[in-house]
Amino acid sequence: MVEITRALDLNAEQEALIDMHSFLNVLNILACELDLMAYGLGDSRPIQEALALVHEFANALQTPERAAPWLADPQSLQNRIHTLITQGLENTTPDAELRASVDNIESVLAILGTRVRELEARSDKPLGWTWLEVDPLRMDFWHLLMAIEKNSKGRYRIIQNIAEQQPEDYLIKVDIDSLESEHLYVPAIFQDVMRDLLANARKYTPPGGRILAGLKETDHEVRFVVDDTGVGIPPHQIEDIVEFGVRGENVRDRPTRGGGFGLTKAYWVVSHCNGRMWIDSDLGVGTRIEIALPRPSPQTTPPPR
């Protein structure tokens, strides 16, 4: 187990991208789905236009100033994409695969709307501690995983019960043990970190693998752990892997659909919250990431449900 202790040296653009990492992950899934749809429809012009909108949004996230107009009215983007998809499907009888793509795009757009609301809620103080409802947090994790599963076009399932697991299925379990049964006290941005590390573990774990994640809240700290049976990190790169843009040499040629700096964001948040982070990894065996954040005494009581 290696404790990560190095200082991060990030410029303003990199910090902006880190803050928007969850958006980039969602937009990359959306872009992939639209790209497949455009190909299936013979490079449909409306679908290509929708794809260009998504890429333009992703590029705008590089600076807060460029991102602001897009984030101010996400419904307009969603409506425009809906209109373009409808145009692209005119005079077409959708087959099962095309209908599945449309359903997946709907679920991804819903997740995008959730991300915007989360950003608005923490805009004044992203690293400030706040109360989150546990059940909606669990459901948000699962909605993301189901969008990833749909995007696989049947190549694998994501399940929670080992008795259901088939050779190509992922077994993914997320446990949350909070002091207040219905609420959790964490930095507002930490839900991004949990989500990103969970998605990252899935990305680098082959189908048929196992991913366990858990959060434990005590009076003194919040501890989060993700443990997978993935490809692992080369031992000499374990500390380097938190640097912006660094990927393990064993996966550099593997295409990914994420922003590529989920571990950077996790360590950036940990550092700013005076926490600690450890990584234990073996090639071909898997990776375990542990995070511990000192928990301040809440200034408020949990809101009523």
Gyration radius of the chain over CA positions: 19
What is the predicted pLDDT for the residue at 253? 60
Domains of the chain: 2-294 (3.30.565.10)
CA 180 to centroid of chain Cα atoms: 25
Distance CA 20, CA 196 (A): 11
Decide: 37 and 106 in contact? Cβ < 8 Å.
no
Decide: 20 and 58 in contact? Cβ < 8 Å.
no
Strand order through the sheet with 221-228: 2-3, 276-282, 286-294, 221-228, 210-217, 170-177, 158-159
What is the predicted pLDDT for the residue at 19? 79
What is the predicted pLDDT for the residue at 255? 55
What is the predicted pLDDT for the residue at 49? 93
Single pTM value for the model: 0.86
What is the predicted pLDDT for the residue at 273? 95
pLDDT tens-place string over residues 236-252: 899 989 988 787 777 76
What is the predicted pLDDT for the residue at 256? 55
**Regions in the chain scoring below 50 on pLDDT:** none
What is the predicted pLDDT for the residue at 270? 96
User: Length of the chain, please?
Assistant: 305
What single-letter amino acid sits at 205?
T
* Dihedral of the alpha carbons of 268, 274, 275, 278, in degrees to the nearest 10: 60
What is the predicted pLDDT for the residue at 157? 95
What is the predicted pLDDT for the residue at 154? 84
What is the predicted pLDDT for the residue at 63? 80
